[in-house]
C-alpha cells in the first residue's frame, strides 16, 4: 500500500493543481465566451468520451487484465499487446466515424432547434474523440508501467495549460473568433497522446510486434470474451455518465446555454473526485497482479482503504465547496446565470460521495475474471439512466439529470458492493465511514452558524479555514485513515513539530 499511497498522493497533488488551472480556465472562459459557447466546449468532452467508449472495443480492459501475463512471460521485444490494442481501437474509431457520418441527419434533426452550434461544429468532435481514444490506451499502458504521475500531469495539467493559452489568445484578440478557438482545441488530446507515445518510445517501454505471441494465442478466447463484455458494460456506463449534457442540449429550451450551467456544476463537483483518479491510476497494476496471484487479502485491503480515503476527501471537499458556492460565483464575478448551478452541484456532489465512498469496486471487478457481472450492471445502469434522464429533464429542466444520476448511480454502486460482499466477503465500510459523514455534517453546521450570514472573499477564507481545521482535527483525532497518519507524521517532521 505504501507505493499506492505515494503515487496516489503525488498524482492527487497534480490533479488538484490541474483543478486550480481549471478554476482559472473557468473564470476566463465564462468571461470570454457566452454560456452557449462554454456549453459547446463541454459537449465536445461528453461526446468524445462516448466516442471513445465505443471505439476502444474493450482494449483498455484488455491491457488492465492481461498486462501481467504478457510482462511475465514474454521478452519486451516480443510483447505484442499494445500492437493489437491500438490496431483494434483504430479500427473501432473508423467504424465510429462512419456511423457518425451516416447518422449526421439524425443529429441535425434532434439538435438544430435548441443547439445549432453543435450541428455547425459536428465534424470537429471527431479529431477530439480520436485524440482521447489514442491517449486513453497509452495511459492504460503507462499505469501498468507505474507512470501514473506522468499521465496525470499530461491529462490534468498540460491539457488545461494549452486550453488556457487558447482562451487567453482569444481574450487578447489574437485568435479572432470562437471558430478559431474550437478548431484548434479539437486537437488538444491528440497532442498529449503523441507526447506520451514519444516518451514511451524514447524510454523503450512500448514495443510493436505484429507476430502473435504465445500469450495472445493461449488467451485469445478469454481476451475476446473479456474485452467484449467489459466493453459493453463500459459503453453503457459512459453513455449513462455523459447522457445528461446530451439530453439537455436536445430537450431543454436554450440548449447549450444550460449545458454550460450544468457543466459548471459538474466541473466544480469534479474537485470532489480529484483523489479518485490518483488512487485508481496507482491501484490498477497492483490489483491486476493480486488477481493473478489470487491474493484476495490484498484486494480486500485496497478495497477498504480506498473507500475510507476517498470518503474523507469527498465529504471534506463537498462541504468546503457547498458552504462557499454562492459567494464564489459572486465574488469572482461569474455570470449570474451560473448561480443556478448550485442546486445541480448539490445533487452531483452527493452522487460523487456515493461513488467514492464505495471504494474501487469498478477497478476490482474490472481487473478480475467476473466480466459478466460488469456487463450485467452496465445493462442495469443504462436501463435506468436513459429513460429517467429524459423523463426528469422534460419535467424538471436542466436539474433533472442530476436527480436521475443520484438515484441510478446509488443503485449501480449498491449492486457492485453487494456482489463483492456476497462473493468474497469484502466490505469497504466500517464505523469510520459513519464517523466521517457525521464529522462532515458537524463541520458544515458550525461554519454555517458562525459565518453563513457573511459575504465576500474574507468570509470565504474564514469559513474555509475553520472547516479545514475542524475536519482535519477530527480525521486525525479519530484516526479515520491508516494512510492519513503517515502523511501527518511526515508533515510534522518537515515543520519541525515532531519529537
Query: Structural domain boundaries of the chain?
Result: 2-429
User: What does the DSSP assignment read for 208-234?
Assistant: ---SPPHHHHHHHHHHHHHHHHHHHHH
Residues in the chain: 499
CA–CA separation, 151 vs 206, rounded Å?
A: 15
pLDDT at 87: 93
Q: In this structure, are residues 85 and 200 in contact, taking their beta carbons and an 8 Å threshold? A: no
Q: Is 335 left (phi over 0), alpha (psi -120 to 50) or beta?
A: beta
Grid cell in block for residue 14 = 497534480
Reference 122, options 102, 137, 136; nearest CA is: 102
Nearest 5°: the CA angle 284, 287, 293 is: 145
Task: Tell me the pLDDT of the chain (499 aa) as tens digits.
Answer: 455 556 556 656 666 676 677 777 777 887 778 878 888 888 888 889 889 989 998 898 888 888 888 888 888 888 889 999 999 999 999 999 999 988 888 777 777 666 778 888 989 999 999 999 999 999 988 988 888 788 888 988 899 889 889 988 887 778 878 889 999 999 999 999 999 999 999 998 888 888 888 989 998 888 888 788 778 777 877 877 778 888 888 777 766 778 878 888 888 888 888 777 677 777 777 887 888 888 888 888 889 888 898 899 999 999 999 999 988 888 877 777 778 888 999 999 999 999 999 988 888 887 777 767 877 887 888 888 889 988 998 888 888 989 999 999 899 899 999 999 998 888 889 899 999 999 999 999 999 898 878 888 888 899 999 999 999 999 988 888 877 766 666 655 665 655 5
CA–CA separation, 185 vs 167, rounded Å?
A: 10
Task: Give 404's Cβ-side CA count (13 Å radius).
Answer: 29
Enumerate residues 6+ apart whose C-beta is below 8 A from 454: 462
pLDDT at 58: 87
pLDDT at 208: 86
CA dist 298 → 221, 286, 288, 426 (Å): 28, 9, 11, 11
pLDDT at 349: 93
Long-range Cβ contacts of 334-339 (<8 Å, 24+ apart): 334/26, 334/27, 334/30, 335/30, 335/35, 337/35, 337/257, 337/260, 337/261, 338/30, 338/261, 338/264
Enumerate residues 6+ apart whose C-beta is below 8 A from 19: 156, 270, 271, 274
**Dihedral pair phi/psi, residue 19, rounded to 5°:** -70, -30
Amino acid at each position: 500500500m505504501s507505493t499506492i499511497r505515494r503515487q496516489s498522493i503525488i498524482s492527487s497533488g497534480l490533479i488538484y493543481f490541474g483543478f486550480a488551472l481549471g478554476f482559472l480556465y473557468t473564470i476566463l472562459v465564462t468571461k470570454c465566451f457566452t454560456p452557449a459557447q462554454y456549453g459547446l466546449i463541454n459537449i465536445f468532452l461528453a461526446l468524445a468520451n462516448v466516442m471513445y467508449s465505443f471505439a476502444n472495443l474493450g482494449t483498455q480492459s484488455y491491457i488492465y487484465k492481461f498486462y501481467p501475463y504478457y510482462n511475465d512471460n514474454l521478452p519486451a521485444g516480443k510483447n505484442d499487446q499494445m500492437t493489437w490494442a491500438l490496431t483494434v481501437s483504430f479500427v473501432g474509431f473508423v467504424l465510429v466515424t462512419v456511423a457518425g457520418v451516416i447518422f449526421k441527419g439524425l443529429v441535425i434533426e434532434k439538435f438544430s432547434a435548441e443547439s445549432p452550434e453543435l450541428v455547425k461544429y459536428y465534424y470537429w468532435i471527431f479529431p477530439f474523440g480520436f485524440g482521447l481514444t489514442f491517449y486513453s490506451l497509452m495511459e492504460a499502458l503507462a499505469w501498468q508501467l507505474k507512470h501514473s504521475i506522468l499521465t496525470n500531469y499530461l491529462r490534468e495539467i498540460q491539457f488545461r495549460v494549452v486550453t488556457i493559452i487558447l482562451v487567453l489568445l482569444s481574450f487578447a484578440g489574437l485568435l479572432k473568433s470562437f471558430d478559431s478557438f474550437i478548431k484548434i482545441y479539437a486537437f488538444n488530446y491528440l497532442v498529449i497522446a503523441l507526447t506520451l507515445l514519444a516518451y514511451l518510445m524514447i524510454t523503450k517501454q512500448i514495443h510493436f510486434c505484429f507476430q502473435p505471441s504465445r500469450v495472445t494465442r493461449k488467451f485469445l478466447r478469454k481476451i475476446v470474451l473479456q474485452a467484449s463484455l467489459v466493453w459493453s458494460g463500459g459503453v453503457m456506463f459512459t453513455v449513462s455518465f455523459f447522457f445528461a449534457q446530451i439530453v439537455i442540449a436536445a430537450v431543454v429550451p436554450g440548449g447549450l446555454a444550460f449545458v454550460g450551467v450544468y457543466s459548471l456544476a459538474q466541473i466544480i463537483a469534479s474537485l470532489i473526485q480529484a483523489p479518485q483518479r490518483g488512487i485508481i491510476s496507482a491501484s490498477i497494476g497492483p490489483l491486476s497482479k493480486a488477481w493473478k496471484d489470487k491474493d484476495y487479502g490484498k484486494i480486500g485491503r485496497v478495497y477498504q482503504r480506498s473507500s475510507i480515503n476517498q470518503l474523507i476527501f469527498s465529504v471534506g471537499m463537498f462541504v468546503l465547496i457547498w458552504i462557499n458556492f454562492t459567494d464564489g460565483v459572486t465574488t469572482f464575478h461569474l455570470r449570474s446565470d451560473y448561480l443556478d448551478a448550485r442546486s445541480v452541484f448539490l445533487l452531483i456532489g452527493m452522487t460523487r460521495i456515493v461513488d467514492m465512498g464505495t471504494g474501487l469496486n469498478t477497478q476490482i471487478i474490472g481487473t478480475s475474471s467476473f466480466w459478466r457481472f460488469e456487463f450485467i450492471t452496465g445493462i442495469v445502469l443504462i436501463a435506468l439512466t436513459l429513460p429517467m434522464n429524459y423523463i426528469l429533464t422534460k419535467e424538471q429542466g436542466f436539474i433533472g439529470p442530476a436527480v436521475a444520476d443520484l438515484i441510478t448511480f446509488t443503485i449501480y454502486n449498491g449492486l457492485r458492493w453487494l456482489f463483492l460482499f456476497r462473493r468474497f466477503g469484502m466490505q469497504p465500510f466500517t464505523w469510520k465511514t459513519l464517523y466521517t459523514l457525521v464529522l462532515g455534517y458537524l463541520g458544515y453546521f458550525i461554519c454555517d452558524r458562525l459565518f453563513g450570514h457573511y459575504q465576500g472573499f474574507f468570509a470565504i477564507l474564514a469559513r474555509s479555514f475553520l472547516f479545514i481545521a475542524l475536519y482535519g482535527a477530527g480525521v486525525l483525532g479519530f484516526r479515520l485513515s491508516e494512510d492519513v497518519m503517515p502523511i501527518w507524521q511526515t508533515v510534522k517532521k518537515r515543520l519541525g513539530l515532531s519529537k
